[in-house]
Amino acid sequence: MVSRYDVELIALTKRYGESLAVDCISLRIPTASYCCLLGPSGCGKTSTLRMIAGHEAITEGDVLIRDANVAGLPPTRRGTAMMFQSYALFPHLSALDNVAFSLKMRGVTKAERHRRAREFLDLVRMADYAARLPAQLSGGQQQRIALARALIMQPSVFLLDEPLSALDPFLRVQMRQELKRLQRELKISFIHVTHSQEEAMALADLLVVMEGGRIRQSGTPREVFERPASEFIARFIGGHNVLPWKNGRIAVRADRCTLGAIDGRPRVAGRVAVIEYQGPVVRVALTTDDGGEAAALLSDEVFYRQSVGVGDPAILSWPAEAAHELMQ
């Protein structure tokens, strides 16, 4: 029977001495999905990834990969491959030999392993750089080599630890598309650890937000963005105003807010504190009368029709359906 899940985490826990890095998390990653583990540093996302890879001992709980419990197995026998944050390319080997490394360890002949390695260099569009040493490659090129080196193992699950954080912003967007393309073509699951919500939203089929060693919310990026479960998630995901409302708090999407009172719509009053021109939108941030903060993302068109300045009193209103209550 074909497994419905590539990876299942069952009550997975990691303790370093007294401190709890991962606190009893459970997660199912459907077959061939792009899963992003998103969270601030120290939230346990990297520890989780390393436990799946087998580079970190599991304190309690289990890791299932395609229905097989791999909790006690060494990294090679898990069917995973990992791309390290630093890429960890071997500095003394050429790009080709780096990619061919796993085949060499398995005793594949030189001619055969070089042939296969060239195929994977082709896959990541690095065929012209086969003879280069890692130090002779740019960051983006090194990353492609690291990708090819991991993918040649034909893993059933590919693990990526902050793969884009070392790249400049332009290259980051380009590699992001490349990763998504590879995932679709190879039809395997990618588990991608990141602290960038923008990256996670762009890539993920399944977005898992972690904090304090726990999973705080998981779902499609749209589900998470439209219904952030808590104040932490609303703030971390960005684009939301968190406002006190009646006996609790609500999250309101900043892009649904407008300036000026509209009959029948909920509102807050305050003064304009900051105006940021961002190209397609202008962000107008208010200090509300009760000392809080709220912002509206206005299209430039709308903004320039209204002409507000810093220090002006202003009212922020939104359609009722753009807000929802947050858990305490």
* Binding site residues, another protein, CB under 8 A: 53, 55, 74-76, 80-82, 84-86, 88, 90-92, 101-102, 104-106, 133-136, 149-150, 153
- Beta-carbon contacts of residue 22 (< 8 Å; ≥ 6 apart): 12, 13, 14, 44, 47, 48, 51, 213
Closest separation in Å from C-beta 89 to another protein: 8
Number of H helices, E strands in the chain: 9, 18
Closest separation in Å from C-beta 82 to another protein: 5
Closest separation in Å from C-beta 297 to another protein: 40
**What spatial distance separates the first Cα and last Cα of the chain, rounded to whole Å?**
42
3-class SS of residue 89: coil
Which C-beta is closer to another protein: that of 88 or that of 171? 88
Closest separation in Å from C-beta 18 to another protein: 16
- CB–CB of 46/200 below 8 Å? no
Buried b (16+ CB within 10 A) or exposed e, 283-292: bbbbebeeee
Quickly tell me which residue has 């998981």 as its tokens: 218
Which C-beta is closer to another protein: that of 76 or that of 177? 76
Closest separation in Å from C-beta 120 to another protein: 13
Which C-beta is closer to another protein: that of 55 or that of 172? 55
Closest separation in Å from C-beta 295 to another protein: 40
Closest separation in Å from C-beta 61 to another protein: 21
Which C-beta is closer to another protein: that of 101 or that of 190? 101
d(CA 82, CA 52): 10
Q: What is the CA radius of gyration of the chain?
A: 23
Quickly tell me which residue has 């002006």 as its tokens: 312
Amino acid in position 243:
L
d(CA 17, CA 319): 50
d(CA 293, CA 286): 6
Which C-beta is closer to another protein: that of 136 or that of 306? 136
Which C-beta is closer to another protein: that of 76 or that of 299? 76
Which C-beta is closer to another protein: that of 5 or that of 84? 84
